[in-house]
């Protein structure tokens, strides 16, 4: 049965979202149709609006959500109608090289880094005004109903509050895992976190959970410092307050550089600064923010030669289908908090207001 429902469609770059009636096709073999109950707004969605992340239009964005299974296609065994679930923008097929390797989590079936905007079979499940609408990262959560592949959905605890655990679909898991999984932050270490949005704050939660002794939060918006301190930052610094480059400030503050640094903005200049501020011999720097399209980094190779490591992290290094239910369980056991990451709750038809709040740093 085709479902007619409302969705926020982005027709072209740099335009507001348009609330439209869309038709959502039933799930095909190994697909799941989900009623979306809560979705977060992530800067990666905004990167598509501005063109920094190149995707095909028209498109239904959104990738951080939680919902309830409405129906399943043939052959689906891991979820059934009525189950509470989190869609996964990094799927876990269980068969590709990344899925089979204990060190990997970026399933080769992901749409990240491609510009397909389609289901794995090369077609779409969304139609609006007679036009085919593209999917985003295999999830597309800015709609009342969506269809995902079975490898891109995780069943979670039926008691979990969906308006909170939707954050485990992207922002929280991405930051928390970057600290715990990718960097493997150690007790007593010193960390620097560039960018104090929801993901940056989640990195701080992860660094604190790992036992870091010093967590230096870096942002040009000082309004973000109070929350960073509440979640575990020991120092907060604003690069605008200094005459010298921020990596020099951090190197001096820490007597030679931090053990771990994290870039959680998605800018090449801050990526280089984060890399330069970690210890010249054993520092580890992790890129968490999505890099802008068509920009390269130029840096002195001596920064690497002396022993630093530069890493990237997508979805916090977690194998999604395995990790998301466990992270939800940890939240239910109060091993970490999510409430401080939620600043506003809006009816989803006010999605454009939500994006304005994101863009103004609120």
Mind telling me the catalytic residues?
Answer: 42, 44, 47, 63, 170
Q: Are 219 and 225 in contact (CB under 8 A)?
A: yes
DSSP lists the bridge partners of residue 284 as 260, 309
Question: How would you list the strands of the sheet with 18-24, edge to edge?
Answer: 3-9, 18-24, 126-128, 131-133
CB atoms within 10 A of CB 141: 32
Measured CA to CA, the distance from residue 146 to residue 275 in angstroms comes to 39
Tokens 């679909």 belong to which residue?
169
Task: Produce one character per residue of 113-139: b if its CB has 16 or more CB atoms within 10 Å, e if not.
Answer: eeeebbbbeeebbbebeeeebbbbbbb
User: CA-CA distance, 8 to 16, in Å (whole number)?
Assistant: 9
Spatial neighbors of 1 by CB under 8 A, at least 6 apart, are 26, 71
Distance CA 186, CA 162 (A): 32
Which residue is listed with tokens 């390797």? 101
Q: Which helix (H) or strand (E) holds 38?
A: strand 31-39
Order of strands, edge to edge, in the sheet holding 145-149?
145-149, 31-39, 65-72, 84-87, 153-155
Question: What is the torsional sign of CA 360, 340, 141, 268?
Answer: positive
The count of C-alpha atoms lying within 13 angstroms of the C-alpha of 201, restricted to the half-sphere facing its C-beta, is 23
């Amino acid at each position: 049965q085709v479902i007619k429902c409302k969705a926020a469609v982005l027709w072209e770059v740099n335009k507001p979202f348009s609330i439209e009636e869309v038709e959502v096709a039933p799930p095909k073999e190994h697909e799941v149709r989900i009623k979306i109950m809560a979705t977060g707004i992530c800067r990666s969605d905004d990167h598509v609006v501005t063109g920094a992340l190149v995707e095909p239009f028209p498109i239904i964005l959104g990738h951080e959500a939680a919902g309830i299974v409405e129906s399943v296609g043939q052959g689906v065994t891991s979820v059934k109608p009525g189950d509470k679930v989190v869609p996964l923008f990094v799927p876990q097929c269980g068969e590709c090289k990344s899925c089979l390797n204990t060190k990997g989590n970026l399933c080769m079936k992901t749409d990240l880094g491609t510009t397909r905007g389609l289901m794995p079979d090369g077609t779409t499940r969304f139609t609006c005004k007679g036009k085919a609408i593209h999917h985003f990262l295999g999830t597309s959560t800015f709609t009342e109903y969506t269809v995902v592949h079975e490898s891109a959905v995780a069943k979670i605890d039926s008691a979990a509050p969906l308006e909170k655990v939707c954050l485990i679909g992207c922002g929280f898991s991405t930051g928390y895992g970057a600290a715990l999984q990718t960097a493997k932050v150690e007790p007593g270490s010193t960390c620097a976190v560039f960018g104090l949005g929801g993901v940056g704050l989640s990195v701080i939660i992860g660094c604190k959970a790992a036992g870091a002794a010093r967590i230096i939060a870096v942002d040009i918006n000082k309004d973000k410092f109070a929350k960073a301190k509440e979640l575990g930052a020991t120092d907060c610094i604003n690069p605008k307050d200094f005459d010298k480059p921020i990596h020099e400030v951090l190197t001096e503050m820490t007597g030679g550089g931090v053990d771990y640094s994290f870039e959680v903005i998605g800018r090449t200049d801050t990526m280089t600064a984060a890399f330069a501020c970690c210890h010249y011999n054993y520092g580890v720097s992790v890129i968490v923010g999505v890099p802008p399209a068509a920009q390269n980094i130029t840096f002195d190779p001596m920064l690497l030669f002396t022993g630093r490591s530069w890493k990237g992290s997508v979805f916090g290094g977690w194998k999604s289908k395995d990790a998301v239910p466990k992270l939800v369980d940890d939240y239910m056991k109060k091993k970490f908090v999510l409430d401080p990451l939620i600043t506003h709750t809006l009816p989803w038809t006010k999605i454009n207001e939500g994006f304005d709040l994101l863009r103004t740093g609120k």
